Structure 1
Amino acid sequence: MNTQDRPVVALTLGDPAGIGPELIARLLARPETAQRANTVLVGDPWLWEDGQRIAGVQVATDAVGALADVRGRAGTTRPAFLALDTVAPADVQRSRAGGAGGRSVLQVLDRCMDAALAGDIDAICFAPLNKQAMKIGGMQHEDELHHFARYLGVTGYFCEFNTLGDLWTSRISSHVPLKDVASYLSVERIQQAAELIYRSLLASGVAAPKVAIAAFNPHGGDGGVCGREEIDTIAPAVQALQARDWPTPAPFHGPFPADTIFLKAQAGEYQAIVTMYHDQGQIAIKLLGFSRGVTVQGGLPIPITTPAHGTAYDIAGQGRASVEATWQAFQIACRMGSTQRAKALAAA
Structure 2
Amino acid sequence: MRTALAIGDAGGVGPELAAKLLAHPEMQGRDFVVIGDARLLEMGKTHAGVAFDLPVVAASEVARGLPAGRVMVDLANCGPEAITKGSSNPAAGAASLQNFAAALRLAQAGIADAAMFTPFNKHSMRLARPDYVDEIGFIDRVLGATRSGREFNVLEEVWNARVTSHIPLRKVADTLSVERILASIKLTHEVMEGAGKPNPRIGVAALNPHAGDGRNFGEEDDDIIEPAVRAAAAEGLAVKGPIPSDTVFVRAIRGEFDAVLTMYHDQGQIAMKLMGFDRGVTLIAGYGFPICTPAHGTAYDIAGQGKADLGATLAAARLAESLAKLNPPRGASVALGADWATGAVETETALAD
- When the two structures are superposed, what TM-score results if normalisation uses the length of structure 2? 0.87
Matched residue pairs, number? 329
Point out where structure 2 has 5 or more consecutive residues left out of the alignment: 333-353
1:131–1:144 Cα contact (<8 Å) kept: no
Match of 1:69 among 62, 65, 69: 65
Separation of aligned partners in 2, 1:190 and 1:87: 41
Residue 282 of structure 2: aligned partner: 295
Q: Name the % identity.
A: 41
Q: CA deviation at 1:68?
A: 6.9
Q: CA deviation at 1:344?
A: 5.4
| Counterparts of residues 178-197 of structure 1 (less than 5 Å) | 178-197=169-188
Separation of aligned partners in 1, 2:53 and 2:192: 34
Residue 341 of structure 2: aligned partner: none
Query: 2:273 matched to 1:286?
Result: yes
Partner SS for 1:162: strand
| Counterparts of residues 73-112 of structure 1 (less than 5 Å) | 73=68, 78-112=69-103
| Counterparts of residues 231-250 of structure 1 (less than 5 Å) | 231-245=222-236, 250=237
Give the letter for the 2:31 counterpart: N
Residue 51 of structure 2: aligned partner: 58
Residue 223 of structure 1: aligned partner: 214
Match of 1:259 among 233, 246, 269: 246
Residue 351 of structure 2: aligned partner: none
1:139–1:147 Cα contact (<8 Å) kept: no
- When the two structures are superposed, what TM-score results if normalisation uses the length of structure 1? 0.88
Give the letter for the 1:331 counterpart: R
1:34–1:79 Cα contact (<8 Å) kept: no
Residue 163 of structure 1: aligned partner: 154
Residue 4 of structure 1: aligned partner: none
Residue 201 of structure 1: aligned partner: 192
Partner SS for 1:309: coil
Match of 1:18 among 12, 16, 25: 12
Distance 1:80 1:207, change over 3 A: farther
Residue 36 of structure 2: aligned partner: 43
Query: 2:3 matched to 1:30?
Result: no
1:196–1:298 Cα contact (<8 Å) kept: no
Q: CA deviation at 1:97?
A: 0.9
| Counterparts of residues 135-154 of structure 1 (less than 5 Å) | 135-138=126-129, 140-154=131-145
Deviations along 1:41-79, whole A, 9 cap, x unmatched? 112111111111111111232345427734x72xxxx52
Deviations along 1:231-279, whole A, 9 cap, x unmatched? 211111011111225xxxx422222111110011111221111101122
Query: RMSD of the TM alignment (CA)?
Result: 2.0
Deviations along 1:169-221, whole A, 9 cap, x unmatched? 12222222322211011111111111212222222232342111111111112
| Counterparts of residues 301-312 of structure 1 (less than 5 Å) | 301-312=288-299
Separation of aligned partners in 2, 1:201 and 1:155: 21
Distance 1:67 1:112, change over 3 A: farther
Answer 1 or 2: which has greater helix percent: 1
Point out where structure 1 has 5 or more consecutive residues left out of the alignment: 1-6
2:125–2:132 Cα contact (<8 Å) kept: no
